[in-house]
Structure 1
Amino acid sequence: MTNNVSAQSVDTSTLVELLRYRAIHQPEQHAYTFLRQGESGDAHLTYGELDRQAMAIAALLQSRDAVGKPALLLHPPGLEYIAAFFGCLYAGTIAVPAYPPRSARTMPRIQAIVADTQAKMVLSTAEALSDLQRCFAHLPEMESLEWVTTNTIPAHLADEWRKPELDRDSLAFLQYTSGSTALPKGVMITHGNLLHNLWLMKQHCEQTSESHMVSWLPPYHDMGLIGGILFPLYEGFPSTLMSPLAFLQQPFRWLQAISNSGATISVAPNFAYDLCNRKITAEQRATLDLSRWTLIANGAEPIRDETMKRFVETFAACGSVLRPIL
């Protein structure tokens, strides 16, 4: 389906209004595709489907007295995470995205976030629930947390959703630092903060409603969430996503997804371009068509000019006409 509704015609003060606009005017437009194992794209969401899922999740959160309160999101990367994030926004609940803990070793970060936010509710998927609860089992301070599996919420609850009273100054989510060198620190992000950031990205990235994003970045903070998920929504073009692990296991999957989808924009930290330079073979490069990929962004860690020059030179034979943004 051709998307003729550009972001220029969308005047909104919150992300809830933005998604509602897309759902009303472009209900059948593909919004997000998630590549399972980084390759097969059998999971899709349209704007209309995302809107209904967000309303159902929001209605449940509103019925649990979660309006204006923080909720920890511990979803693995995927479409369920996107629906849960917007479900929080639709409810007026403060989303607190975080990496799902993989073992007891990674629990101190989660404990610090729960202590800092005083969150009483954790959102995740039914498939991830048992592993998460195992990680939380020996932590007495976590026993009172309420668990909600967002992908099992009945769809008909969407009819019970009540639009929250939000404006540009309303808090959308809390973004926490990694906690690798100190306790994680939270930053309060409002709807106005996000919309201004997205407007600035629009000015610099020069994408249109005919563009396409590919991202493997973790969807829990700025580059993955704002760049890979929210910016495509703002501009009204689709985004193809995969998990960070899928990329790390086989870097070729990232460029293969760009080739297969005809993506025009993708972002990553410097190490990702270095991995592609070193790991993708000449035989694999011969299968790629990167002729629509015109904008490449590098950030989140020190940027090495030689890495980017080598990347552009190495993949020029794939039809690439990349314009780097560093």
Structure 2
Amino acid sequence: MRFLKILGLLLLALAISGGGYFAYRLYKPKAALPAGIIGSNGRIEANETDLAVKFAGRLTEVAVQEGDMVQAGAIVAKIDTADLDAALRAAEANVRQTEKAQAEADAQIAQRKSELTLADQELDRALALIAKGNVSQQRVDQARNQRRTAAAALDAARSRQDAAKEAIAAARAEAERLRVQIADGTLKAPVTGRVLYRLAEPGEVLAAGGKVVTLLDLSNVYMTLFLPTQEAGALAMGAEGRIVLDALPGRAIPATVSFVSARAQFTPRQVETQRERDRMMYRIKIRVPETLVQQYIEYVKTGLTGMGYVKLAPQAAWPEWLQSDLTKPQ
């Protein structure tokens, strides 16, 4: 019995010492950062894109599930466009009808031109004959009147031709509008990303602007940091950065400073003392290269926490534990 107690105490001591060693290895502090480099905690983020319908309608299909990866241009959902299809057929018939009206107007213009030419010839003959005294003035007046009538008829035909052209343009524009609206009934992914939320199901009637899915734009993956005034003021756009995730503690992901806020966060109402000025924080974004994101796109997840590091001085050298990245073997 005593032996069992001693054995139990030994096992308990080994467990405590092993757990302590493991905790030390897991939580032991990193080596101090060299001058010109600063770090701050943050989390991985990406832009969210809501894919919504442009016009009211019944949802007939949703082709993706939450968590699916979709490429830019892929079909995500469809809206019932039966009414629009019928309206388009009517609009196309109207286009054909107005084109026929223009053809008739063109033919009338040709006819009226011929009549005007004949009236000009008749008037010239009448003027020539009256100069010789072979016809009366009444005959000349009749020729002049016929010429004016033919010219007026030609002007009217040209007006009908212009009206027909305008009608064709309006009919074609209406048909094109309907084609665009029908095309908008097929919702396509504007970016390559992952489906974050599926917000509607087939059969639902959505109002204009109704959201169907939310996509995470994985072409722009970044970590948001907050740095004090002094460090943020010395940070340059495009400066080198590193990201170390809690889920991948042995890897440093290369990044670049893509955004430095022009406005301080957590600013006191009245900034009077040095201590209060030190409390002013600026939001920073360090972006992961898109090529690297595409290489590991199946593993990219937002919300992962970790540490972000940036170079305040370009000549500063990364310490050894920040020189590795995902392009190198572990």
Into which bin does the TM-score normalised by the smaller protein fall?
under 0.3
TM-score (norm 1): 0.18
User: Which is bigger in relative contact order (C-alpha 8 A, separation at least 6)?
Assistant: 2
TM-score (norm 2): 0.18
Flag the structure with larger Rg.
2
